[in-house]
């Protein structure tokens, strides 16, 4: 997901840049975004997140993992 996707989803462009700058100290785009659906997955999340980090760190240091639990 890139900034234009977030803007298309309804977030103002200024908000997207402000969020990225606050979280990452820069407005530069990330190399990888991982979206994890996580309804009722509290027990398995720590191991999954460790595995994602171990897999991505050799490739890039610029990644994000979004864990989504919409309660459905």
Q: Which residue has the tokens 């989803």?
A: 9
**Residue 28 vs residue 5, higher pLDDT:** 28
Q: pTM surpassing 0.75?
A: no
The DSSP-derived string for 6-57 is: HHHTT--HHHHHHHHHHHHSS-PPPSEEEEEE-TT-TTTHHHHHHHHHHHHT
Chain segment 11-39, per-residue pLDDT in tens: 676 777 777 777 766 656 778 899 999 88
**Residue 70 confidence (pLDDT):** 74
Specify the DSSP class assigned to residue 64.
E
Q: In a 3-state reduction of DSSP, which class is residue 65?
A: strand
Domain boundaries, the chain: 1-27, 31-72
pLDDT digits (tens, 9 = 90+) for 42-68: 899 999 999 999 999 999 888 889 998
């Amino acid at each position: 997901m890139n900034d234009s996707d977030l803007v298309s989803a309804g977030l103002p462009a200024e908000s997207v840049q402000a969020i990225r700058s606050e979280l990452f100290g820069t407005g530069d785009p990330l190399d990888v975004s991982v979206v994890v659906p996580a309804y009722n997955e509290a027990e398995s999340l720590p191991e999954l997140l460790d595995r994602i980090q171990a897999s991505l760190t050799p490739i890039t240091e610029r990644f994000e993992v979004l864990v989504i639990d919409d309660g459905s």
